[in-house]
Amino acid sequence: QSTCTLRGCCWSPESNTSVPWCFFSSNHGYKVDGSIRSTQAGFETTLTRLPSPSFFGNDINIVLLTGEYQTPNRFRFKITDPKTHRFEVPHEHVRSFTGSAASNLNYKV
């Protein structure tokens, strides 16, 4: 049996150690709004915020989720505001991925 707080955080102790005990109910977060579009490296889709209490405030109601199957062992996802460009900290070892989607994946998305 799970217990949920007013903000939607739920707690349900499980004997299976691969199942998280703390989680958010299904009426929190975002949902896919429209289609999932294929890209050269993976996919992208628009997510719409569900009407639920905010944890931090200033939530973005519509976000863009981009997924890239970069290697058989590495999946990259990025969530951005499609309406407002925001500064991203540059890093010498993190560059834009320009390849095609990997195959023979060792993970499921």
DSSP 27-89: TSSEEE-SPPEE-SSEEEEEEEE-S---SSS---SEEEEEEEEEETTEEEEEEE-TTS-----
pLDDT at 10: 75
pLDDT at 2: 64
Low-confidence ranges of the chain (pLDDT < 70): 1-2, 4-8, 17, 20, 23
